[in-house]
Amino acid sequence: MDNANDRAAFLAAYDVSRETLARLDRVIAALGDWRLRSNLIGPKEWPQIWTRHVGDSFQLLEYIPETARVVDLGSGAGFPGLIIAAARPGGHVTMIESVGKKCAFLRAAIEAAGLSASVHQGRVEQAPEIKADIVTARAFAPLPELLDYAAPWLCNGATGLFPKGERWNEELTSARQRWNFAYQAIPSRSGGSGVILNVREAARRHGQA
């Protein structure tokens, strides 16, 4: 299906440089090829790949410095990891994903677009030590569990950037029973009542393992 109108709508909503757009085009072209042979993204999602998935990821960039080291948990089809890497060539994105076929796609997209990024295949909780300024995750886990997964980075000074849907407040309430942290809930530009949770200064509450 032709994504031209969806791509144009995305470009009307975001300020995208020519160089970044060229890399994004190569990422989405790779996804368009791989989705036909792997279950990376559903057919109903493809017509809105730019406005929904690329845009939902692109809005994080306002909070990611040009040279930031980013860890993306459960990268799946590459949102937001590949999108961040396409727009932040001066930094580096490490994508952690356990499914082999998804890792193969991520590596192919990185090569196709010439991204400053790498892929670690394995479970997040078994990941090696990776230095990061920012930790991201999209549709990976509810916030209480997500903070557990992200703890190796959050507890060492990294900032968490987590897109969340309309039930984000319930997740936040549950998470604060186990964690102390500062946060900002930034309204999502993707529509609806979702937010980006900007999480900082995270530490487990006393008595929490």
Q: What are the structural domains, with CATH classification, of the chain?
A: 4-204 (3.40.50.150)
Mean pLDDT of 62-75: 97
Share of the chain above pLDDT 70, in %: 97
Q: What is the pTM of this model?
A: 0.95
- Over residues 161-193, the pLDDT tens digits come to 999 999 999 999 999 999 999 999 999 998 778
Predicted pLDDT of residue 93: 98
**SS3 string of the chain?**
CCCHHHHHHHHHHCCCCHHHHHHHHHHHHHHHHHCCCCCCCCCCCHHHHHHHHHHHHHHHHHHCCCCCEEEEECCCCCCCHHHHHHHCCCCEEEEEECCHHHHHHHHHHHHHHCCCEEEEECCHHHCCCCCCCEEEECCCCCHHHHHHHHHHHHCCCCEEEEEECCCHHHHHHHHCCCEEEEEEEEECCCCCCCEEEEEEEEEECCCCC
